[in-house]
Structure 1
Amino acid sequence: MNFASDNWAGASPRIIDALTRGAGGIAPAYGNDDLTRELKARLSSLFGRDVGLLFAATGTAANSLALSALSPSYGAIYAHQDAHIVGDEAGAPEFFTHGARLIPLAGPAGKLTPEVLEAAVARGSGSGSPIPKPAALSIAQATESGTVYREAEISALTAVAKARGLKVHMDGARFANAVAFLEKADRGARLADITWKAGVDALSLGLTKNGALMAEAVVLFEADKAAEIEWLRKRSGHVVSKAWPIAAQFLAMLENDHWLELARHANAMATALSEGLVESGHALGFPTEANEVFAVLPKALIARLRQEGAKLYEWPAAALPESERLGKDADLTRLVTSFATKEGEVERFLEIVRG
C-alpha cells in the first residue's frame, strides 16, 4: 500500500523496452541524435507550433532553467506559497537566476487568483518599490494540492501577467495527470489551449512521476528563449551527454498516448481512494482532481494504517483554510497514487479505514 509518492513507483515496461532497443546502438552525443530530433518534431506537432526542447536531469533543474530564461537576476517570480519551487527546491530558482526573488502568494486549494496576482504585481511596480522588478509568473499543473487549473483559469492569470510584462512558466511535473483530468472535466484538453495559446511561455514537462525512469524537459514556446536557455543549461552543468535515453522514454510515452493511459489509471485510483474515504466519514482537505488525495484522518488511524504497511505522509495543515484547521487528534495526510497502484491496494487501505 504505497501512497507515499508517485516517485516511488518503478517504470512502465514500455520504457524498459525502449531503452533496451536503443542500448546496443551508436548515437551522436549532446542531443544530436535521431531520437531527440524525432521527439522535437513530435512535440511540435502535439503543441501545434515549433517548440524549443532541452533535457534536464531533474524537475528542479527544469524549473530553474526555465525561470532563468524568463527572469533577470533582479526580477521577481510570483508563485503560490505551496508551490514546489517555493517550498521544496531549496532556493534553486533563485540560485539559477543569480538572484531573482521568489514571491509566494496565497490562494485556495493550491491555486492563484488573478486578483491576488494583480495586487502583488502592483506592489512591486514603480521605481520606488523595494520589491524586485516583476518578471515572471510560475503556476503548477497539477498543483501541490492536487488540483488542476482549467483553461479559463490559466488564461485569466496570464492576462494579468502579460498586461504587466511578465513571462509565464508552468511546472508540469504532473502535467499528464492534469491533462487526463481535463479530458473528463472539460471534455478534452488540447495541449496548445492549456499552454502557449493560454499565454504560457515555458513548460517544465516531466514524466518521471508518471512511469518513466528519468525524463524531464523544458519545452519553450519562443524560439529566442530556446537559444538563450541553451547557454544557461551549459553553464549550469545540465547538458546531458547521452540524450537518446531521455528522448526514447518520451517517445515511448507519447506513442499511442501511453503517458495519458498511465495518468488516467493513477487518477482513477486516487478518485476511488478519495470516494472511499469520504464514504467512511473522513473529510478531504482539497478536491481530488489529479493523483493526490489530501484527507483529514485521526492520528490513531494513521498509526494503524502504518502498522498494516501503508506508506503515506502527514502534510502541513497550514495549507488548509483557517476555517478548516485541525484539532489536536487529527492530521492532514497526503496519499499519492501512481501508474503502478493496484486496485487491491486501494481496497485494502479502505478496509483498514472502515475497520
Structure 2
Amino acid sequence: MKAAFTSDNIAGASASVFNAMMEAEQGDSMPYGNDDTTAEVTTMLSDLFECDVDVYLVSTGTAANVLSISAMTPPWGSVLCHSESHLLNDESSAPEFYTNGARFVGVSGSDAKINPVELQRLVNQKVGDVHSCQPSAVSISQVTEVGSVYSLAEIRAITEVAKLAGLPVHMDGARFANALLSLGCTPAEMTWKSGIDIVSFGATKNGTMASEAIVVFNKRFSKELGFRRKRGGHLHSKMRLLSSQMKAYLTDDLWRINAQHANDMMALMQAGLARVPGIKIQTPAQANMLFCTLPVGMADYLMAEGFAFGWGRWEEGVVRLVTSFRTNQEAVEAFIESANRFEVSRV
C-alpha cells in the first residue's frame, strides 16, 4: 500500500505519548484516577480552557460522547443532533444504551451543521406532552461528519436557541484540535464562552493511543458523570496510563502541532484534487476531512495503485479522504498525481 487516507485513527501514537506511557508504567500509583498525573491533567485542561473544569478521562470517543449525553437527558428525553452526525449514525446503539432509551432526533442543515431555525421548531415541539419524548439536550459535532467546521457565530446561534429552551449543549470534539486551528480561536471561545456545557475533547485521532477527556464546564452534571462513568465500565483502575497520554498530548503544544500538520496536508490534497478534471469537491474541507465525487473508474484505479480511502458507504462515486498527523506530503502528492494520470489516460 502506498498510502492510506481512510481515517486519522489509522495513525499510531506520537512518540512522546508512547514514551509517557512507558514512564507511567514504572512504580506504583493510586488507582481510579487518584494519582498525581490525573490531577495534573485536570489542571492543564483548566488552564487550556481558561476556567475551572471537571475532567473525566475515558479510553474511547464513543464513551466520551454517550456518557456526556447520558448525564444531560432522562430516558424519556430526546437529544437533538444533526441528521448526519456521528452520534446518530456511527455509534451503533450505544447512545440509547447509555441513556437508558432516550431518543436521538436528527435535525436538518446544510454542510452537516444544525440549522438553528429548524432547531427552534423542534425544541418547542410537544413540550409537556406526556405522549411525546421531551427535548432534553443538543449535541453538535466539531469537525462535522462532512469536514465542515461551525464558526463561533454558528455555535452561538445553536446554543442561544438551546438555552432559551432550557437545554444543555454537548460538543462532540473528536477532531477538536483540527477545528480549533481552522477557526484560529481559543479553546474557551469555541466552548464555554459560546455556550457549550460539556465537550468530548478528542485526542485519539490526533496522537494518543487511547485517551479522551470529558471536559465539564457546567458542573451540575459532574457528580452524575462520575457515577455514570463507573456504571458504564469506563473508570479505569490504572488511570495514570490514560492521563499520562493526555499529559504528553497537552505538553509542548503537541496537540496543536499534530492537528496543524493534518490540516495542512488536507489543504494540499484539496488544492491538488480541485485541479483534476472530473473530480467534484463536495463540502470544501475546513480541517482534515474531504468528501469528493470521482469520475467512473477512478476509485478502482487509485485502489489498484495502492491507495486506500473511504469508499462505498455513500452515494455512488463519493469517497472520503482524511489526513492525520502522520500523513506525509509525498503521499498526498502521489495521490494527486495518480488521479491526474487517470484523467489523462481517458482523454
* Alignment TM class, shorter chain as reference: over 0.9
> Which among 42, 63, 67 is matched to residue 61 of structure 1?
63
Question: Matched residues in 1 for 2:223 and 2:63: separation?
Answer: 17
Q: Which residue of 1 aligns with 2:208?
A: 212
Residues 267-294 of structure 1, C-alpha deviations (whole Å, 9 max, x = no match): 1101111110101132111111111011
Q: How does 1:255-266 map to 2 (within 5 A)?
A: 255-266=251-262
1:291 to 275, 281, 288: 288
Q: Give the 3-state SS of the residue equivalent to 2:294 in structure 1.
A: strand
* Alignment check: 8 A CA contact 2:59 2:242 kept: no
Question: CA offsets per residue over residues 120-163 of structure 1, 9 Å max, x none?
Answer: 222242426x4311100000011111111111110110000000
Cα distance in 2, alignment partners of residues 315 and 300 from structure 1: 13
Report the 3-state secondary structure (helix = DSSP H, G, I; strand = E; otherwise coil) of the residue aligned with 1:79: strand
User: In the aligned structure 1, how far is the partner of 2:197 from the partner of 2:33?
Assistant: 22
Which residue pairs with 1:34 in the alignment?
36
Matches within 5 A, 1:294-305: 294-305=291-302
The one-letter code sitting in structure 1 at the alignment partner of 2:181 is A
Gap runs ≥5 in structure 2:
342-347
Q: Cα distance, 1:317 vs. partner?
A: 4.3
Q: Equivalent residue for 1:324?
A: none
Distance 1:98 1:233 in 2: 14
Aligned to 1:352: 338
Q: Distance in 1 between matches of 2:63 and 2:241?
A: 18
2:21 is matched with: 19
Partners of 2:312 and 2:160 in 1: how far apart?
A: 32
What is the distance in 1 between the residues matched to 2:93 and 2:276?
Answer: 40
The separation in 2 between residues aligned to 1:153 and 1:295, in whole angstroms, is 24
SS in 1 for 2:78: strand
2:108 corresponds in structure 1 to 106
* Structure 1 segment 216-231 matched on structure 2, within 5 A: 216-231=212-227
1:171-210 map, 5 Å: 171-183=172-184, 189-210=185-206
Cα pair 1:80 1:110 within 8 Å, conserved: yes
Deviation at 1:105, TM superposition (A): 1.4
Q: For residue 172 of structure 1, report the CA deviation from its aligned partner.
A: 0.6
1:229, 1:308 → 2: CA distance?
Answer: 48
CA distance in 2, matches of 1:118, 1:208: 34
1:248 aligns with one of 244, 254, 258? 244
Aligned: 1:275 with 2:271: yes
Give, in whole Å, the separation in 1 of the partners of 2:37 and 2:135: 38
Aligned residue pairs total 338
On the 8 A contact 2:82/2:109 being kept in 1, the answer is: yes
For residue 316 of structure 1, report the CA deviation from its aligned partner: 4.7
- Counterpart of 1:32 in 2: which secondary structure? coil
Following the alignment from structure 2 to structure 1, what is the Cα–Cα distance between the partners of residues 226 and 12? 30
State how 1:41-52 maps to structure 2 within 5 Å: 41-52=43-54
What's the secondary structure of 1:118's corresponding residue?
A: helix
How far did residue 12 of structure 1 move?
A: 0.9
1:35-84 Cα shifts (integer Å, max 9, x gaps): 00001011111111111111122111111100011111111100011111
- Which amino acid in 1 is paired with 2:283? F
Give the superposition deviation at 1:25.
Answer: 2.4
Q: 1:8 to 1:18 in 2, by over 3 A?
A: same
Deviation at 1:295, TM superposition (A): 1.1
How far residue 315 of structure 1 moved from its aligned partner, in angstroms, is 5.7
Deviation at 1:310, TM superposition (A): 0.5
1:56 and 1:239 in contact (8 A); partners too = yes
1:305-346 CA distances to partner (integer Å, 9 max, x unpaired)?
Answer: 00011011126546xxxxxxxxxxx51110010000000100
> TM-score when scaled to structure 1?
0.93
Asked if 1:310 is matched to 2:296, the reply is no
The answer as to whether partners of 1:315 and 1:334 remain within 8 angstroms in 2 is: no
Alpha-carbon distance in 2 for matches of 1:224, 1:162: 15
Specify every segment of 5 or more residues in structure 1 that has no aligned partner in the other structure, as ranges.
184-188, 319-329
Instruction: Give the Cα–Cα distance (whole angstroms) in 1 for the partners of residues 282 and 121 of structure 2.
Output: 27
Q: Give me the TM-score of the superposition, normalised by structure 2.
A: 0.95
